[in-house]
Amino acid sequence: MTFRTLATLLRGGKIRMFRALNGAARDFHRVAFLAGAIRSGLLPRLAAGPVPLDALASALRLDPSGHERLEAWLQTGIALGELEQRPGGYAARSALSRRLADPKHDAAAAFIEEIAGLHHALLTQTPERLHAGRRFTLADQNARMIARSSRLMEPFVCEALAGAVPRHGPFRLLEIGCGAAAYLRFAARRNPELTAVGVELQAEAAALARANIAEWNLEKRVSIELGDIRTRTSEASFDLATLHQNIYYFPVADRVALLRHVRSFLKPEGRLLLTTLSQGRGSPAAVLDLWGAMTAGCGRLPKPADLKAQLEKAGFSEVTSRRLVPGESFFAFVGIHRANLGRVRERRNAK
């Protein structure tokens, strides 16, 4: 580079732009590469490496013509700092790669896939879809992946759930949108006399929940139903109903009716526990809010004050909310079903 070229770049601010572009491109490429390594099943092999190129190609069932292309992909991982090449083959290099390969960090691995797939589609396709009047649908997302990634918030949700589930005594739990059934397992382990029903709208997630319940030997105490809670016949037989990270799967205009219907499943003095990310600062909340706005049949993230008012309008008493994650807009809401007060509140709201 000549001095004249350098001076031109400096005057035009292009060097700063190039540096910013390089940083942004590298971050995006890292996430996309890791998502590919996770989705293909190669990341655990690389974390246990080194693995020869031929063995990786065999794992992907490639014919000899694909080896060179696989090598180019692996070299990209090296350029990004995620992989390294040793005498025995390729291996994961970065701490992030090795952690994502650990099964105990499966929720984080799923979130990487979610960013590279669903979030990328939302952010790049929304303007075009708005122009065409074409929204996303639930079929556009991988339900199993979402069920897995939602477990990132598991420690905080379980903290709220522990405050609602007693350690002893008969207790019936209804979980609406049970996903991978992780919270049903937590509740069942907390109280050995607890029985539960999980209702799941998406077939893939329901299948995952059933498989997990069987693996955890909870089939005699926990059942999984595939369906929409809004069409399920009411039965006032549950001590607790929960909605975890899924209120935005329902349109805002339908939420009071939904919550009123959920209340009809509760015994007198039964409780509702609702955990959700709310509108607030940070890109995860913003992207999820966009997803709710752009997905047919869903709705935007709630504002805490609005959701509290909706719960009260649905007939719940003594509604409380608390922030579960310091500095983040992740909240737990609790409401009590007091039968007489609920009917009075409903009549008052109807006027």
Instruction: Give the model's pLDDT for residue 176.
Output: 97
Instruction: Give the model's pLDDT for residue 18.
Output: 75
Task: Name 335's bridge partners.
Answer: 272
CA dist., res. 47 & res. 324, Å (int): 33
Decide if domain 150-350 falls under CATH 3.40.50.150: yes
Instruction: Give the model's pLDDT for residue 275.
Output: 97
Count of CB atoms within 10 A of residue 161's CB?
A: 23
Instruction: Give the model's pLDDT for residue 346.
Output: 53
Instruction: Give the model's pLDDT for residue 168.
Output: 96
Instruction: Give the model's pLDDT for residue 280.
Output: 86
The CATH architecture annotation of domain 3-101 reads: Orthogonal Bundle (1.10)
- Consecutive 10-residue runs of the chain (351 residues): their mean pLDDT? 66 73 93 97 93 95 94 97 96 96 95 96 97 95 90 94 97 95 96 97 92 97 96 94 96 97 97 95 92 97 96 97 92 92 53 51
Instruction: Give the model's pLDDT for residue 345.
Output: 52
Q: State the Cα angle at 99 between 96 and 102, rounded to 5°.
A: 150
The pTM for the full model equals 0.86
**Residue 306: partners with Cβ closer than 8 Å, 6 or more residues away:** none
Burial class (CB in 10 A: 0-12, 13-18, 19+), 187: buried
Burial class (CB in 10 A: 0-12, 13-18, 19+), 128: exposed
CB of 295 closer than 8 Å to CB of 136: yes
Tokens read off for 72: 């180019």
CATH 3.40.50.150 intervals, the chain = 150-350
